[in-house]
Amino acid sequence: GENVEQHPSTLSVQEGDSAVIKCTYSDSASNYFPWYKQELGKRPQLIIDIRSNVGEKKDQRIAVTLNKTAKHFSLHITETQPEDSAVYFCAAYPRGYSTLTFGKGTMLLVSP
């Protein structure tokens, strides 16, 4: 089955800095890679996703890049704000399967 590794487990940045979270996956057939943000005590919510036929996708201050050859994808947050503080999860969806495999999460802390 699919295995997703996520790094770092915690990340502290100053407000205004950029933050990068990286994930690797094992199944080369995976074709869908969502990112979820989970604030304390809340449900995970999708913030951005990318499919295997695209190398990069942006949405305002967040972007995701995908390197299929190396089997890794990354979340980039620019101009971080305190409200970006949360746990972020990456996931991979192998073609032909019906379930997502999640990374273990990254706790991002943005200090004012």
Partner 1 sequence: DAGITQSPRHKVTETGTPVTLRCHQTENHRYMYWYRQDPGHGLRLIHYSYGVKDTDKGEVSDGYSVSRSKTEDFLLTLESATSSQTSVYFCAISEPGVEGAETQYFGPGTRLLVL
Residues lying near partner 1 in the complex (CB under 8 A) are found at 6, 31-32, 34, 36, 42-46, 49, 51, 89, 93, 95-100, 102-105
Q: Are 75 and 48 in contact (CB under 8 A)?
A: yes
Q: How far is the CB of 5 from partner 1 (least distance, A)?
A: 11
* Alpha-helical runs (H) found in the chain: none
Q: Is 59 exposed, middle or buried (0-12, 13-18, 19+ CB in 10 A)?
A: exposed
By beta-carbon proximity to partner 1, the closer residue of 85 and 106 is: 106
Q: Which of 12, 99 has the CB closer to partner 1? A: 99
Q: How far is the CB of 77 from partner 1 (least distance, A)?
A: 19
Q: Tell me, what amino acid is at 34?
A: P
